[in-house]
Structure 1
Amino acid sequence: MKVANIVLNDFTNDSRVLKISKTLGKSGAHVTVFAMHNEGLAEFSEEEFFTTQRVKLSSRKWSKRRIIQVVKYIEFIFRTFSRTKGYDHIHCNDLNSLPIGVMRKLASSKVKLIYDAHEYETEMNGVQGIEKKIIKVMEKLLIGFADKVITVSDSIAEEYVRLYNIEKPHLVLNCPAYIDVSKNNLFRDNFAIHAEQKIFLYQGALNKGRGIEILLEAFKKLNDSTKVLVIMGYGELEKIVKLEADNSQNIFFQPAVKPEVVLNYTSSADFGVSFIEDSCLSYRYCLPNKMFEYTMAGLPVLVSNLVEMKKFVEEHSVGVVSDENTVNGFYDAFSKIEEFDYESLKSNLKKVRKSYCWESQEVELLKAYKELV
């Protein structure tokens, strides 16, 4: 089995694509990740269990105007399409790579196409107007070509059944590999945070709609020196986060780290925060990987009142669900979690991480692939 695992990023911090590639490679498949090339990255590389090809674009350094971005996208589609000839399984991560898989399937009926929707693709934050209409039409036209659809939450899977009248997608949660993580103190050492101070960690994409502005505002106004915020990641709000960190005594910024060491940093905090806003259906139904990274690292969590996160936290008693996505809502969550028995929370987390790990999810991934034979 030859698998082309296609993703439209430079594949430097995409833990899901990495885990899927390793799992398929270990199962005996010949796996190649096709990703975007960026300056300073190797165009071809050999990894354990898979290889990587980063596709160079002649248009890469052109303007970032919308129409030019479309040109770059089209160039990536056709260059990757030409490179994937001879692969019998095309694994498309997100909707933007699905046209490549469909083209390859049309070129050869023997090709098996897997559509891995990492979000509720047509209802993502910030997608609106004509762009949203195009995406909706695109997914409706293309999803029927997929031999298997994979999603990252049960609510999204149900929505896909409702929208497209397809077989319910396979659920492959974005969990980290199981590891017995020891408590670390990287944040305390790097930022001189005192032992008596509690570290609240946000890790992940620094984008609008993730509740980052609410967290910054909450800690700026917080009159309590025993609590600090560490924000770890990268994205459009990075400059704002750095500025606030430079001007605050209780806010710290940690640049994104490699997937293989992220849990060493996660375990250096005391609580994990996922305060995603109810700004789109994709967020409402999300069950983000950082939730499972927090639990794997043994961190009780504070989460916003969204469908899947609320269900997970309440079902397993691993933290607090905020009533509302506001500064006061976050303060209320503070108060609630302080009333919990911390050791009881830690005990629940030990049970949860054995169930919500990549080793359990890769079973579902391989099951989906076996059904294609």
Structure 2
Amino acid sequence: MKIVFFRKIVFYLLKKISSRNKLILEVNDLIYEQSIDLELVVDDFFSFLQDKLYTIENCNYIFASNEMKHYVSEKYSILPKYSTVIVNGAPELCDYSFMFNNEEWMNTDKLKFVYAGSLNKGRQIEDLLAVFDNDKDNLLIVLGNEGEWLEEIELANNIFYLGNFEEKIAHYLVSKCDIGIIPYNEDRFYYNLCFPTKVSFYLTAGLPIFSTPLKELQNVFYNDDVILFNSFSDWKNVIMNIDKKYIEKMKKSTDLIKNKYQWDFLLKRFDFK
């Protein structure tokens, strides 16, 4: 796409397709804004590419969050009739108990907090480990990709790194915990714009969520008891004093809505014809 001739052909075809058919672009991420906030290599080409993609006449857009839709629609003057939102869903929970017998971390009465996702070193994972370091009353269960470095350091006795698993197996392991956590930096623009895939992953596994106060999530769950919001700077204190009965109350609220975040439920109300 960085080759001008090729790019012109692509956008000529997209314009032609959009004028004769219903063209739908699914928008899961905004690469340019994301790369800034995640401290990746920022390539100005992605800003240019987004300018082209979001100004295709008569094109329809499906955004993965409400805040993302609002931001892009306002920036590029996309009319409401051309945009909608489908948040990232999760699969139906499956039973993989035959694969895991007498796991030490499963057989405890302690509260089990779980982080499932990318474990790139330097992405607040070290800070998360510090929050739970030698907490006698709570466990931290960690699983996901790029976490090999965790096998090379000495983890506290209450912190368990399980490794990386296929999605449905990871989903089952998450369901054996008590509460899912989202430690994203609430001061960064993109984190407030997105609807983390972890949300549906945790909820459909039957888990309530402990999260930093992200704008998208606060707007979606403003009147629900399924998510507890606290600034990351307060996490250690909140976790040390958390009430198990309150977590049970959150779980009951989660049971009422968890099926609404499965892919089948999210997609069935849309007609893509």
TM-score bracket, shorter-length normalisation = 0.7 to 0.9
Q: Is the 8 A contact 2:96 2:169 kept in 1?
A: no
Q: Is the 8 A contact 1:203 1:290 kept in 2?
A: yes
Q: Is the 8 A contact 2:111 2:244 kept in 1?
A: no
Match of 2:178 in 1: 270
Question: How far apart are the structure 1 equivalents of 2:222 and 2:102?
Answer: 33
Match of 2:111 in 1: 198
- For 2:172, the aligned partner's letter is N
Q: 1:334 aligns with which of 196, 220, 239?
A: 239
- For 2:208, the aligned partner's letter is P
Question: How far apart are the structure 1 equivalents of 2:98 and 2:248?
Answer: 19
- For 1:196, the aligned partner's letter is D
Q: 1:218 aligns with which of 131, 153, 156?
A: 131
Match of 2:32 in 1: 122
1:316 aligns to 2:229 (yes or no) = no
**For 1:215-251, what per-residue CA distance to the aligned partner results, in whole angstroms no more than 9, with x for missing partners?**
111122x4x323111111113xx2443334x443122
Q: 1:172 aligns with which of 64, 86, 92?
A: 86
**For 1:239-290, what per-residue CA distance to the aligned partner results, in whole angstroms no more than 9, with x for missing partners?**
443334x443122212222223332111011111011113532211221111
Q: 1:325 aligns with which of 229, 232, 248?
A: 232
RMSD: 3.4
1:106 Cα deviation from its structure 2 partner:
5.7
1:111 Cα deviation from its structure 2 partner:
6.2
Give the share of equivalent positions with the same residue, in percent.
21
Residue correspondence of structure 1 range 1-373 to structure 2 within 5 A: 102=11, 104-105=13-14, 110=20, 112-126=22-36, 131-145=42-56, 147-168=59-80, 169-179=83-93, 189-192=102-105, 194-207=107-120, 211-220=124-133, 222=134, 224-235=135-146, 238-244=147-153, 246-278=154-186, 280-322=188-230, 324-326=231-233, 329-335=234-240, 337-338=242-243, 340-364=245-269, 366-367=270-271, 369-370=272-273
1:173 Cα deviation from its structure 2 partner:
0.8
TM-score (norm 1): 0.61
Give the match's secondary structure for 1:225: coil
Query: Which 5+ residue runs of structure 2 have no aligned equivalent?
Result: none
Give the match's secondary structure for 1:115: strand
Paired positions, count:
267
Q: Is the 8 A contact 2:182 2:209 kept in 1?
A: yes
**For 1:6-59, what per-residue CA distance to the aligned partner results, in whole angstroms no more than 9, with x for missing partners?**
xxxxxxxxxxxxxxxxxxxxxxxxxxxxxxxxxxxxxxxxxxxxxxxxxxxxxx
Q: Is the 8 A contact 1:273 1:303 kept in 2?
A: yes
Give the match's secondary structure for 1:272: strand
Q: Is the 8 A contact 1:125 1:280 kept in 2?
A: no
Q: 1:99 to 1:255 in 2, by over 3 A?
A: farther
Match of 1:23 in 2: none
Q: 1:257 to 1:135 in 2, by over 3 A?
A: same
TM-score (norm 2): 0.81
Question: How far apart are the structure 2 equivalents of 1:361 and 1:152?
Answer: 11
Question: How far apart are the structure 1 equivalents of 2:99 and 2:140?
Answer: 14
1:344 Cα deviation from its structure 2 partner:
2.0
Question: How far apart are the structure 2 equivalents of 1:331 and 1:206?
Answer: 20
Say which structure is richer in strand. Answer: 1
Give the match's secondary structure for 1:141: helix
Query: Which 5+ residue runs of structure 1 have no aligned equivalent?
Result: 1-72, 82-97
Q: Is the 8 A contact 1:114 1:149 kept in 2?
A: yes
Question: How far apart are the structure 2 equivalents of 1:252 and 1:312?
Answer: 31
Q: Is the 8 A contact 2:106 2:176 kept in 1?
A: no
Q: 1:101 to 1:153 in 2, by over 3 A?
A: farther
Question: How far apart are the structure 1 equivalents of 2:255 and 2:41?
Answer: 46
Match of 1:90 in 2: none
Q: 1:295 to 1:257 in 2, by over 3 A?
A: same
Q: 1:241 to 1:114 in 2, by over 3 A?
A: farther
Q: Is the 8 A contact 2:67 2:216 kept in 1?
A: yes
Q: 1:142 to 1:319 in 2, by over 3 A?
A: closer
